[in-house]
Amino acid sequence: MAKSWQDVDTRKNGLAVVIGRFQPVHFGQLYNIDEGLKIADNVLVLIGSAFNSSSPKNPFTYEQRAKMVKDYYFQSQHRDRIIIEPLADYIYEENQWITDVQEIVSQYETKKVALIGHEKDDSSYYLKNFPQWDFIETGKWPDTVKGIDATKIRELYFNHNLNYVAGVVPLSTYNFLEWFSTTQEYKDLVEERNFIDAYKAAWANSPHPPTFATVDAVVVQSGHILLVKRREQPGKNLMALPGGFLGETETQEDAVIRELREETKLKVPVPVLRGSIKKEKTFSNTSRSQRGRTITQAYLFQLKNDEPLPKVKGSDDAKEAAWYPLAEFYNMEDQMYEDHFYIVKKMLDNE
């Protein structure tokens, strides 16, 4: 059962934990940190989605978000009591995400730990994943706009409307947002956001919310994986798995082989590709694509390891195609489109 912070003895806990994406830092999150400072010796701020690629949903890097927090507390007497750490995503491995949180916390405190937060909606479910710690419900930031919505902040920000934003973020964050709006990164994100908005508008009159079906190819050989660089929005210039939408008259297996050959010009005969399929798995996380509900079927192709890597060339929707050592791929999370990094990990790590 959640406690109110008023019910906790002052500085009873060794550590208060605040988890969030901070995209961007706003007063609601800072309110949670402030309440944590009241009931614990130190506050550990875990910044989630720390290594994701840039997108309208995750526009700012971990370093930028950490600096937003540090800048707000720069002149505070409590700044040395605030610890900031990155927290990776594990979209299809929640137990690993929970383990990461536990391991980071154990570096600073193992006994008296309080988890600080506000159960505002379904997105706050993670607050229930740590029964070993006291959960302190802080409630909404006591503002005049009845709560803060980070999604709304980003939406208005990319529409060049800063009136609402100015009232819910600290001045230091606002100044950063103003500067960021002058960069090429901002222009690219606006372009992607406009594409997504237009994409959704095209389906606005559908009698039912559409569900899109796609396929993705995880092709490995001799410790290498085949990736493409996306030519167009969304995710322009990000790395991705070869794949695309399921054709109306295609099976999923036919579609993934077609997309693979179209995007990479992979010089492997179709019968060999069919015989190389070792696994297939459905990925249906409801938030995996910003275009709307998109369910993909991923196929693992294991080509023969004792042969030279087949030549490839980017084509169709792919600007480039190339083989990457798996050791290099596992450091490419911040370059990968949507959930493709996590799809590969799920398909390969459980082998």
pLDDT 10s digits, 162-192: 888 998 999 999 999 999 999 999 999 999 9
pLDDT category at 351 given cuts 50, 70, 90 is: low
Per-residue pLDDT, 125: 79
Tell me the C-alpha distance between 175 and 65, whole Å.
13
The pLDDT tens digits of the residues spanning 66-79 come to: 999 999 999 999 99
Q: In this model, does residue 264 exceed pLDDT 70?
A: yes
The percentage of the chain sitting over the pLDDT mark of 70, rounded to a whole number, equals 93
Question: What mean pLDDT is predicted for residues 74-93?
Answer: 95
Question: What mean pLDDT is predicted for residues 230-241?
Answer: 96
Average pLDDT, the chain: 92
Per-residue pLDDT, 138: 84
Question: What mean pLDDT is predicted for residues 314-343?
Answer: 97
Per-residue pLDDT, 313: 97
Q: Which of 84-93, 118-127, 233-242 has the weakest average pLDDT?
A: 118-127
For the entire predicted model, the pTM comes to 0.91
Give catalytic residues, as residue numbers.
320
The percentage of the chain sitting over the pLDDT mark of 90, rounded to a whole number, equals 82
